């Protein structure tokens, strides 16, 4: 099975590396070609455009920043659409708008191709270690066909239903993650303001009801003032924007006469979106999400 991989950023490059180590034949493309050099040295082939990559791939994998980026790579000049062959599969692993995922999948059927929307969670470490959680929407038979690929990338792989459901599931994940990050940053900031030894405080609470993945993995980085991104504030804000848009569409359908129902029904989503948007305006977008603590410190 010949794979093509587009998007060699923080998540994409270690994911592509795992596919090579698993023995897959891999062709890669990236807007910044230099990011592909380590993969080419491992045996990957280079394609000069998404269209060229699609021409030689049975399965094309994309992981990009946002919905417009995916649409451009799919249907823009020299995009996948121009090269993809009947019977091919696209596995779209970015976090994008669910309705866009449905629209892209429907358009690909015009070329007799299938698409899985399969966003991931687990950050850079999960990509490196192959322990990502992968939430998959699309035809179930196509999901089973692509399982050997997904198993090289993730540990928890769940079929969620038709196209769009993978993205919807990811938005639920991102909302819960964002609120956990807010809780960790705010809790640590409270400990600082109360004059506590933060390391001692974290040791006291880390095995109780306050325990979480975010507390275990991001709190130690905050203690070290290490804001290197495993997942950037800018991307978390983008995902919360998608959450907000999905809420507004859903609430708009349910109660079109009450446009304020979304914020009222999901106050946590509004809070997280506001805080991460403020962090973006403060110039913190390139920090890892643990950098939200800097916003609290600036306010103090």
Q: Which residues are known to be catalytic?
A: 170
Distances (CA, A) of 228 to 10, 130, 161, 225, 290: 11, 20, 35, 9, 9
Provide the CB-side half-sphere exposure for 292 (13 A, CA): 32
CA torsion, ordered 239, 88, 54, 161, to nearest 10 deg:
0
SS3 292: helix
**Residue 300: CB atoms within 10 Å:** 8
Query: What is the DSSP annotation of 244-280?
Result: HHHHHHHHHHH-TT-TTHHHHH-HHHHHHHHHHHHHH
Tokens for 119?
């966003």
Token look-up 């687990």 returns 122
Return the percent helix, strand and coil in the chain, to nearest 5. Answer: 60, 15, 30
CA distance 94 to 7: 9
Provide the CB-side half-sphere exposure for 77 (13 A, CA): 0
> Is the Cβ–Cβ distance between 272 and 175 less than 8 Å?
yes
Provide the CB-side half-sphere exposure for 162 (13 A, CA): 6
């Amino acid at each position: 099975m010949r794979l093509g991989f587009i998007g060699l950023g923080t998540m994409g490059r270690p994911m592509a590396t795992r596919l090579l180590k698993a023995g897959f034949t891999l062709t890669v493309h990236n807007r910044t070609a230099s990011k592909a050099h380590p993969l080419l040295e491992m045996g990957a082939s280079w394609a000069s455009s998404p269209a060229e990559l699609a021409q030689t791939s049975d399965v094309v994998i994309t992981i990009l920043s946002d919905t417009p980026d995916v649409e451009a790579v799919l249907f823009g000049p020299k995009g996948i659409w121009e090269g993809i062959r009947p019977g091919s599969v696209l596995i779209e692993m970015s976090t994008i708008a669910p309705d866009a995922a449905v629209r892209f999948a429907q358009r690909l059927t015009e070329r007799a191709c299938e698409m899985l929307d399969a966003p991931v969670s687990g950050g850079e470490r999960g990509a490196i270690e192959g322990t990502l959680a992968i939430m998959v929407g699309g035809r179930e038979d196509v999901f089973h066909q692509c399982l050997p690929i997904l198993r090289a990338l993730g540990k928890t792989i769940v079929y969620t239903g038709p196209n769009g459901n993978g993205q919807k599931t990811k938005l639920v994940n991102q909302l819960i993650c964002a609120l956990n990050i807010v809780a960790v940053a705010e809790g640590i900031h409270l400990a600082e303001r109360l004059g506590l030894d933060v390391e001692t405080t974290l040791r006291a609470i880390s095995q109780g009801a306050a325990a979480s993945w975010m507390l275990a993995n991001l709190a130690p980085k905050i203690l070290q003032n290490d804001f290197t991104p495993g997942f950037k504030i800018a991307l978390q804000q983008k995902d919360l924007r998608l959450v907000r848009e999905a809420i507004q569409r859903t609430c708009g359908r349910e109660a079109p006469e009450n446009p304020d129902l979304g914020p009222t029904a999901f106050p946590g989503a509004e809070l997280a979106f506001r805080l991460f948007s403020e962090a973006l305006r403060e110039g913190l977008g390139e920090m890892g999400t643990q950098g939200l603590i800097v916003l609290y410190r600036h306010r103090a």
